[in-house]
Structure 1
Amino acid sequence: MAGRFSNWVKSSWLLSVLLLMLPLHAAAAELSGTFVRGGRDFVVVLQILPAGDGKIVGRLRTASFDAKGVKHLFDRPVSGAASGDSFIGKLEGNWDNGGTVAISGSLSGGTLNVSAANGLNVSLRRGEEQDFNRIVELLANKSNATQQENAQRESAKKTENAINATVSRIKALRFDIGLFANAEPRTVEAKAITAEQYRGLTQQIRDKVDQLEQITQPGLESVSKRYALQADMSRAETATLRVASEVFDAQKNFETQAAKLSSGIGEAQRACGSPGVTQALRQEWALLPASSSAFEQINKGVGDSYRILRDARQKAKVEQQELRKRTSAFMTQYQYRR
C-alpha cells in the first residue's frame, strides 16, 4: 500500500508540472530527436518526439553487461512536457517492473543531461538508432572477449592448482613410502617371531595326544584325565588361532598400504606425463624413482616373508587337524570306559 501511495504522489506531482507546462508548445520541437551515450559497459538511447501542445513522447532503452557477461536490458516508453531546453515526464511501467518512474532532462551545448528516479544519470549526445545498436554490438563483443579471457584464466588457474596438488601428493607419497620402508620390515620380523609359536603349540598338542593315548584303563580318574588333556589341547589350538589372527591382520594391513602406495605411484607417473609440467613438479618427479625402487624392494621382501608365515600357518593347521583326528578316534574308543 505504501508503494502505491508513493507512486500516486509521484504521478500527481508529475501531472501538476505537466499542466503548468502545457502552454509551452514550441519547446518540445527543440528536444526532439535521438540521443545516445555509450560507456565502458553500458549504452543508453533516448528517442523524443513532439506530441503537440508542448507534450513529448518517446522511448528510453539501456543495455548493460555485468562482470559475468550477462546482458541486461531496460526499455520503457516516455511521456511528458517540454519547456525551452528542458523536459520533465515519466517512464511508463507497471508494478511488476517497478511502476512509473519520474524522469527529467535539459539540453545544453548539444548535450542532453538526463536523470531519473531509478538512479539513471547520464549525458547524451545526438545520434541515431544504429549508433545504439553498434555500441551494443561492440559491448557484446567486448563482453565475449572478457568472458573468454576469464575462462582462460580460470582454466590456467585450475591447471596450476592441479599441478600444485600433484606436487603435494608426490611429496606426501614419498614420505609415506619412507614410513612404509621403515615400519613394515620390522612388523613382519616381529610377526615371524610370533609365528614361531606355531611349532611349539603344535608340539604341545602332540605331547597331549601321546599322553591321552596312554590312558586306556577304565575308571573315573582316567575319564577325568582324558578330559583335562582335551582341554589343554583346545587351549593350545585357541592360542594357535590367536597367533594366526595377529599375523593375518598385519599382512592385511601391509597389503592395503602396498596397494595404496602402488596406485599413488601410478597416478604420479601419469600426472608427470601430462601437459603443463612445472619446475616444481619436475623436481619432485626426479626424486620419485628412488622412492619407487625402495618401495618395490620392500614390497617384495615383506610380501615374501608373509607368504612364508602363511605356509607355516598352513603346515601347523594340517598337523593339528591330524592330531585332532587321532584324539577323536581315541575318545570314540575309550571315552565310555569308566
Structure 2
Amino acid sequence: MLMCVVLLGLVNAYSGNLDETADAIQFAMFGGDDTPTPTPETRVFNYKAGPNAVPNSIMSDATLGTESDDESDDFLDSMVDSLLGTPSPVISYSFSELSYMAVATAPLQKNNFYTPIEDQIPRVMPCQAVKCHQTTVVVLDSSGSIGSVDYYKEISFIENMLKLTAVKAKRNNLKMCVGLISYSTGVHVELDPCCENSLCKSMNLFDTHALQYRGGMTNTAGALKVARQMLQAAASYKKVAMLITDGHSNDGGSPIPIAKEMRDKDKDGIKIIAVGVTNNVNDAELKGISGKKKVTNIASFDEFRGLSNKLLKANNVASLTELNRLFCCDVFQ
C-alpha cells in the first residue's frame, strides 16, 4: 500500500546526534515506535475523518518513546482541537492510528493550492483522485559540495527507509504515497506522488540507479516549493517532508518563508523534518525550516548506515538483511 510523506534531512556534528536524529525521523514518519494497537481507553475521536471514522489514540511517552518537547506540544494542541471539534491538520498520526482511517475519506486540499511564480521551478499538478493515508516527500541535496560518493550514501539511506515504510504500511493495511526530489541549482522531480504505486515505483529508481548526481549550487527554497506542490497534490491524512542537505542555501533565496507556509495549520499542515550533515550547515536556517528549537543532525554521510540500523531496531527489524527479506515477502506476495 502507498503513503505520501515528505522528509527533509540536515546533519551537524556539534548540535545534535545520531540517536536524536533517529528519534525525530521515527516520530515524523511512523508516529512512534512499533507498538501494539491502542486500547479504547487511550483514544480520542478523529472528527476530521468523518462520522464513520474509528477513534485515533492519545499518544503517551510509553507509545512514542523519546519525542521532543515541541512534538509533544504539537500533539497536545491538536488533541484539544479535536475535542473541540476543530482538529489541527498538523497531527503526527502513528501507523496504528492511520489504520483506523478509511483511505477513501482522506481529506482533500480544498484551497490554497500553491503555484510558484518562477518559470524554472517545476509544476506538479493536483491529483485529488489519488488518496493516501500518508504522503511523504523526500528532498535530496545533490549540490557540488556533497560529491557523488556521499550523494549515493544519501540515496542508500532513503532506499532503506522507504523499504521499512513499505513493510510497515503493508502490515497496517495503509496506502502510502511517495515523492522524490533532487536539487542543486535546478530542481528535479524524480518521482511524482500522483502516480499509482509510487512507493513501489521508488524502488525501481533505486534498482536502476536512475537518481543521478548533478552538482551545482544549493537552491533549497526552490526544492521546497516543489515539495509543497507534491504534498498538496494527493488527498491524505498526514503529510511529511524530509530534507537532507550538507550546507547553506546559496541560490533561490531563503527557504524559511516557504517552509513556514508549508507548516501553517491553516494552509497546508505539513510536518517538516530538516536533517543536516557535516559541520557546514546553517543552524538558523534549518531551525527556520523545521520550526524546531534545535537542529536534527548527524556528523557525516558515513553515519547514514548507523541511522538506518537505529530505525530498524526501533521497528523490530534485526538487520538490513532481514529488512530485504521482509520487503520481498511482505510487500510483493
TM above 0.5, yes or no, is no
- Higher RCO (CA < 8 A, seq sep 6+): 2
Normalization by structure 2: what TM-score? 0.22
The structure with more helix, counted as a fraction of residues: 1
